[in-house]
A and B are shown apart, each in its own frame.
Chain A
Amino acid sequence: MSTVAASAPPAPQAFKSDYKPIWCPGCGDYSVLTAVARAFAILELRPENVAVVSGIGCSSRIPAYTTCYGFHGVHGRALAAGTGLKIARPDLTVLVAGGDGDGYSIGGNHFLHACRRNVDLTYIVMDNHVYGMTKGQPSPTTEPDWNSKLSPGGTGLRTFHPLVIALAAGANFIARAFSGDPNGTAGMIAEAIRTPGFSFVEILSPCVTFRPEQREWKQQVRPAPVASTDDPGRAARRIITDDGFNIGVLYKGNRKPYQPSMGTATKRLTDLEAGFAI
């Protein structure tokens, strides 16, 4: 391997801001931040050409911890904001980030339609099967028999299967990563960004505070035993029978991204604001 490059692109550290994460010690999101920074460095991006957009939740703090442009939006609406941004500024690399509650419950509707629209952006979901920030309520991916003080005996509800939904709704790239392997996760995020269209990466990211048993995920995850496919039927059969611990790119399609022509603005922002004045 040659370590000599013509010029030095930003190192991963260049994508990390001076703000110190306040995630719980042991949280998987630390490694996801490392992976995101490394993915940007692998792609030789520059912070000023990247926007990280999020909703609400522990994982949605991530934009502040990067040196990229950031938008910490409202609960569940990260994809709406990210889609608008990418349509208006197709030159930017847009990474939308959040958690399972933000993305699959409050933002579930946006998730469906972001997959369907297939705008060229990447969505990473740090899935810990719980609402951590609000102290441990079950989320859409929580197991039905997870017994806790806030859900005695478990919810009894079928879990949401984000990869199946993403495939059915039209996402062009579907992968699962594990925060315990930040380099593998970085490679997957980089591939997701490189792939045109809507790319979805579910990242298993343990919540050590409210789901301490998730520390065992490290022993449970495994590389998917099959290579990526561009056949949605084959991918569907694989994903529907998947136990949630297969790591890898599970589907990579060829759909053309949605990018409408924006034309030129006919009104100034101040004119639009004036229209809303009371």
Chain B
Amino acid sequence: MSAGKAPTTTGGKGRPGRTPRARNRKEPVAKSSVSDEADFLARAWTMEVEAAERYSMLADAMHEHNNREVAELFRKLARIEQLHAEQLLEQNLTMHPPVLPPGGIRWGAGEGPETADPGELHYRMQPYHALQIALACEKRAQSFFAGYARDATRAAVRKAAREMAAEEGEHVRLIEEWLKRTPPPDKDWEHDPDPPAPSD
């Protein structure tokens, strides 16, 4: 398997293979039943906040396992998503986050489209892997908003969704550029000379 795919594991014990499983993830279905701009804002804002919270959690996990470089990258991604959430509120001329139902927004399937899956982590992953995870998240977000723009019945919601899809598309482009500047992982990036598994 080529280096540079998201760090996931297949098959036998102890030797992680790599498949970009993020691509297999079901995307939450865009609901055309969004009632108004306020609902749309709540969803868009929640998406960014949940993404930020998740990146923070991933950063903490990598920090605890002494992978500082990836931890810092996830921390940076968390700040970017938090910034997006704040921008959304500013664009909508409000300082107050939307009031959400108990437990938050219920996405059609799984988690919010922009939320990274903690199962994608590997303790020896490299920044390239982290950016691949982020790229998959941005692509899901773009596709999600494009779906809204296509299906929404209210013109204002359609317009807002189109803008968000374009913005997420720009994020996709930026991360692709970022990836080009990032060294691909070493061939044996997952090799641990002192593995956690018991040895003879």
A244 at the B interface (CB under 8 A) = no
Checking A11, A44, A213 against B11 with a beta-carbon cut-off of 8 angstroms, the contacting residue is A213
Closest residue of chain B to A9 (Cβ to Cβ) is B102
Judge whether B99 and A5 touch: CB under 8 Å. Answer: yes
Judge whether B119 and A20 touch: CB under 8 Å. Answer: no
Residues of A within 8 A of B120 (CB): 26
Residues of A within 8 A of B198 (CB): 135-136, 149-150
Closest residue of chain B to A28 (Cβ to Cβ) is B119
In whole angstroms, what is the CA distance A16 to B100 when docked?
Answer: 18
Checking A21, A42, A148, A219 against B102 with a beta-carbon cut-off of 8 angstroms, the contacting residue is A42
Checking B53, B60, B102, B117 against A44 with a beta-carbon cut-off of 8 angstroms, the contacting residue is B102
With A4-B99, A213-B12, A215-B10 known as contacts, the answer to whether A149 contacts B199 (CB < 8 A) is yes
A155 at the B interface (CB under 8 A) = no
Total number of A-B contacts with CB less than 8 angstroms? 132
Closest residue of chain B to A23 (Cβ to Cβ) is B61
In whole angstroms, what is the CA distance A210 to B197 when docked?
Answer: 6
A241 at the B interface (CB under 8 A) = no
Residues of B within 8 A of A183 (CB): 106-107, 110-111
Residues of B within 8 A of A135 (CB): 196-198
In whole angstroms, what is the CA distance A4 to B38 when docked?
Answer: 9
Q: Is the interface of A mostly helix, strand, loop or mixed?
A: loop
In whole angstroms, what is the CA distance A136 to B200 when docked?
Answer: 14
Residues of B within 8 A of A44 (CB): 102
Residues of B within 8 A of A219 (CB): 24
In whole angstroms, what is the CA distance A38 to B100 when docked?
Answer: 13
Judge whether B101 and A5 touch: CB under 8 Å. Answer: yes
Judge whether B39 and A25 touch: CB under 8 Å. Answer: no
In whole angstroms, what is the CA distance A21 to B57 when docked?
Answer: 9
Judge whether A41 and B102 touch: CB under 8 Å. Answer: yes
* B60, B105, B118 interface centre (most CB from chain A within 10 Å): B118
Residues of B within 8 A of A43 (CB): 102
> 0/1 per residue, A1-33, Cβ < 8 Å to B?
111110011011100000011111111101100
Residues of B within 8 A of A30 (CB): 57, 61, 118
- We find that the number of chain A residues with CB closer than 8 angstroms to chain B is 53
B9 at the A interface (CB under 8 A) = yes
Judge whether B119 and A206 touch: CB under 8 Å. Answer: yes
In whole angstroms, what is the CA distance A147 to B117 when docked?
Answer: 29
In whole angstroms, what is the CA distance A44 to B33 when docked?
Answer: 25
> 0/1 per residue, B24-38, Cβ < 8 Å to A?
100000010111001
> 0/1 per residue, A182-209, Cβ < 8 Å to B?
1110100010000000000000001011
Judge whether A212 and B35 touch: CB under 8 Å. Answer: no
Checking B24, B31, B58 against A218 with a beta-carbon cut-off of 8 angstroms, the contacting residue is B24
A91 at the B interface (CB under 8 A) = no
Checking B8, B9, B65, B104 against A41 with a beta-carbon cut-off of 8 angstroms, the contacting residue is B104
Judge whether A25 and B62 touch: CB under 8 Å. Answer: yes
A75 at the B interface (CB under 8 A) = no
Chain A residues engaging chain B, CB cutoff 8 angstroms: 1-5, 8-9, 11-13, 20-28, 30-31, 34, 38-39, 41-44, 135-136, 147-150, 179-184, 186, 190, 206, 208-213, 215-216, 218-219
Q: List 28 A-B contacts (CB under 8 A).
A: A1-B39, A3-B101, A5-B100, A5-B101, A11-B100, A20-B61, A20-B63, A21-B60, A23-B61, A25-B118, A26-B118, A26-B122, A27-B118, A38-B103, A41-B103, A44-B102, A135-B198, A136-B197, A149-B197, A182-B110, A182-B111, A206-B119, A208-B122, A212-B15, A212-B16, A213-B11, A215-B21, A216-B10
17 additional A-B residue pairs with CB within 8 Å, beyond A25-B67, A180-B117, A182-B110? A1-B31, A1-B33, A1-B101, A1-B106, A11-B100, A12-B103, A13-B53, A20-B60, A31-B119, A135-B197, A136-B197, A149-B199, A209-B197, A210-B197, A215-B8, A215-B10, A218-B21
